[in-house]
């Protein structure tokens, strides 16, 4: 069997096509990694500058201006994003972004493996059986009492290892570049992630080699085999993954954020506003009844005159104290009702987020029928640029924002109580302390997709095995 494996391996290796393919893959991989690394270091520097600039800007705020502070929790670029762009490369577009990057994304290792190397794998395996039959060598081999199971197994092992050579060489050269490049400083955990991505890539390419082998074991001519193999490849790489999310929206439609806001604002806001006005009126009536003219005179005058009577610079008369008490209660009514309204809105939005998560899971399950999607989810999650990581980062940003809001409320209260003093200094404001999601958690989320890749390997191998056992070698 080792002889056959060696024969298959050398057949491919000495083939000019594979030599060209190795050269092209290595050059492309190096080129992509270099470009991406340069982009990564620019993004990292920009992140550091943006963070420093924000800190410096916020240092200039006084306690009385705390409600105008709206710091952003900045997420640094992921160290492995030069290899696997994932969601980093296509941020949700807004008014001021370069949308041509969305239309023509920059290539990364994920693309090279998933499109170019998988295509190579199909090209080199589509005539592994039918090609040999056409050349007449298959009949010779099988007539020499070589067991068919051993033959097909050796074809897979020998052939796929020759195809994996471009991947291994490209990744080795890429890793050498990364390790000597000052722009990318990877830690031990990062290198472990690189190794896991490499293993996932090996499993992925093997799937497509086996696909070619399967087709080859089922058809009689190479011409038909290549056509079927490449078309099935195209369906797996381009059709099924892209259709999955859209099918999911058909089955589990989700309201957009704008739709929810509009529905709530149309009905809910009017009701809220009416209720608010009613509560404020009741409170005002109560004060009029309790304090009579002394209070009413403040209500019925214009802002400037009222400022003279009850403003900060006005003398400390009973009317001022009554007005201040009224203002405080009026503010509390507004504040409480606002909070209740926005709590309701938040609840609707949370519900929509849950529905979106459900839709996402459904879409992922649909698209998992394609080995490309399984590999994409695995590779992006391992590198920290996938859906789960993004969700994790969003939760950190939301938690930080809640901390900032809490801090703002606390300081506002302190400023009120300070009455006339500048209030506390803001050096103790919350800082965003970003922590990436642990690898174990990310892997746990995408383990099923890794298992799916292994399943495809088994499925296609079994099909090729059975097909070859029954293959007419004449």
**Least distance in angstroms from the C-beta of 9 to other proteins:** 19
If one asks whether residue 255 binds other proteins (CB under 8 A), the answer comes out as yes
**Least distance in angstroms from the C-beta of 263 to other proteins:** 7
If one asks whether residue 412 binds other proteins (CB under 8 A), the answer comes out as no
Q: Per CB under 8 A, which of residues 427..456 are in contact with other proteins?
A: none
Identity of the residue, 116 or 164, whose beta carbon is nearer to other proteins in the bound complex: 116
Binder of other proteins out of 189, 195, 239, 282 (CB under 8 A): 239
Given a contact cutoff of 8 angstroms between Cβ atoms, the answer to whether 413 and 338 are in contact is no
Q: Per CB under 8 A, which of residues 332..361 are in contact with other proteins?
A: 349, 352-353, 356, 359-360
Residue with tokens 């800082």: 431
Q: Which range binds other proteins by CB under 8 A, 84-92, 277-285, 286-294, 405-413?
A: 84-92
Residue with tokens 């999911």: 248
**Count of positions on this chain that bind other proteins (CB under 8 A):** 96
Binder of other proteins out of 125, 201, 380, 383 (CB under 8 A): 380
Q: Per CB under 8 A, which of residues 158..197 are in contact with other proteins?
A: none
Identity of the residue, 10 or 223, whose beta carbon is nearer to other proteins in the bound complex: 223
If one asks whether residue 43 binds other proteins (CB under 8 A), the answer comes out as yes
If one asks whether residue 123 binds other proteins (CB under 8 A), the answer comes out as yes
What is the C-alpha to C-alpha distance for residues 273 and 277, in angstroms, rounded to an integer? 6
Q: Per CB under 8 A, which of residues 45..74 are in contact with other proteins?
A: 46-47, 49-50, 53-54, 57, 61, 65, 68-70, 72, 74
If one asks whether residue 20 binds other proteins (CB under 8 A), the answer comes out as yes
If one asks whether residue 376 binds other proteins (CB under 8 A), the answer comes out as yes
**Least distance in angstroms from the C-beta of 20 to other proteins:** 8
Q: Could you give the string, one character per residue 260-289, with x where binding to other proteins holds by CB under 8 A and - elsewhere?
A: -xxx-xx-----------------------
Binder of other proteins out of 2, 145, 180, 258 (CB under 8 A): 258
**Least distance in angstroms from the C-beta of 270 to other proteins:** 11
If one asks whether residue 246 binds other proteins (CB under 8 A), the answer comes out as yes
Identity of the residue, 126 or 155, whose beta carbon is nearer to other proteins in the bound complex: 126
If one asks whether residue 34 binds other proteins (CB under 8 A), the answer comes out as no
Q: Per CB under 8 A, which of residues 85..104 are in contact with other proteins?
A: 86-87, 90-104
Binder of other proteins out of 182, 187, 253, 315 (CB under 8 A): 253
Binder of other proteins out of 19, 249, 398, 462 (CB under 8 A): 249
């Amino acid at each position: 069997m080792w002889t056959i494996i060696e024969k298959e391996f050398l057949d491919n290796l000495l083939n000019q096509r594979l030599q060209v393919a190795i050269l092209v893959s290595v050059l492309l991989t190096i080129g992509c990694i270099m470009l991406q690394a340069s982009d990564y270091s620019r993004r990292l520097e920009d992140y550091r500058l943006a963070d420093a600039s924000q800190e410096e800007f916020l240092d200039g705020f006084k306690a009385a201006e705390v409600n105008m502070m709206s710091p952003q929790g900045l997420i640094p670029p992921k160290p492995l994003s030069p290899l696997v762009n994932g969601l980093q490369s296509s941020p949700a577009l807004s008014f001021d972004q370069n949308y041509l990057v969305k239309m023509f994304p920059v290539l990364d290792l994920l693309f090279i493996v998933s499109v170019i190397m998988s295509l190579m794998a199909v090209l080199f395996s589509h005539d592994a059986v039918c090609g040999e039959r056409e050349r007449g060598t298959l009949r010779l081999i099988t007539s020499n009492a070589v067991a068919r199971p051993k033959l097909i197994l050796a074809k897979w092992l020998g052939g796929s290892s020759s195809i994996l050579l471009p991947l291994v060489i490209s990744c080795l050269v890429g890793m050498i570049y990364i390790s000597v490049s000052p722009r990318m400083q990877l830690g031990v955990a990062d290198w472990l992630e690189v190794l896991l991505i490499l293993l996932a890539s090996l499993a992925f390419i093997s799937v497509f080699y086996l696909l070619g082998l399967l087709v080859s074991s089922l058809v009689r001519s190479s011409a038909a085999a290549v056509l079927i193999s490449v078309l099935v490849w195209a369906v797996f790489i381009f059709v099924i993954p892209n259709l999955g999310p859209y099918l999911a929206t058909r089955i589990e439609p989700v309201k957009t954020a704008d739709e929810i806001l509009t529905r709530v604002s149309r009905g809910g806001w009017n009701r809220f506003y009416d209720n608010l006005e009613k509560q404020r009126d009741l409170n005002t009536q109560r004060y009029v009844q309790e304090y009579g003219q002394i209070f009413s005179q403040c209500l019925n005058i214009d802002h400037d005159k009222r400022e003279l009577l009850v403003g900060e610079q006005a003398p400390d008369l009973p009317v001022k104290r009554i007005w201040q008490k009224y203002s405080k209660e009026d503010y509390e009514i507004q504040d409480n009702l606002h909070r209740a309204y926005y709590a309701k809105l938040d609840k609707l939005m949370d519900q929509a987020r849950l529905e979106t998560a459900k839709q996402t899971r459904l879409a992922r399950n649909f698209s998992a029928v394609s080995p490309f999607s399984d590999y994409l989810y695995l590779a992006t999650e391992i590198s920290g640029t996938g859906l789960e990581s993004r969700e994790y980062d969003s939760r950190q940003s939301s938690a930080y924002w809640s901390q900032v809001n809490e801090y703002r409320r606390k300081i506002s209260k302190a400023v009120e109580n300070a009455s006339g003093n500048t209030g506390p200094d803001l050096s103790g404001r919350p800082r965003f302390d970003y922590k990436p999601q642990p690898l174990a958690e990310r892997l746990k989320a995408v383990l099923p997709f890794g298992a799916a890749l292994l399943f495809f390997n088994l499925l296609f191998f079994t099909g090729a095995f059975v097909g070859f056992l029954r293959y007419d070698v004449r």
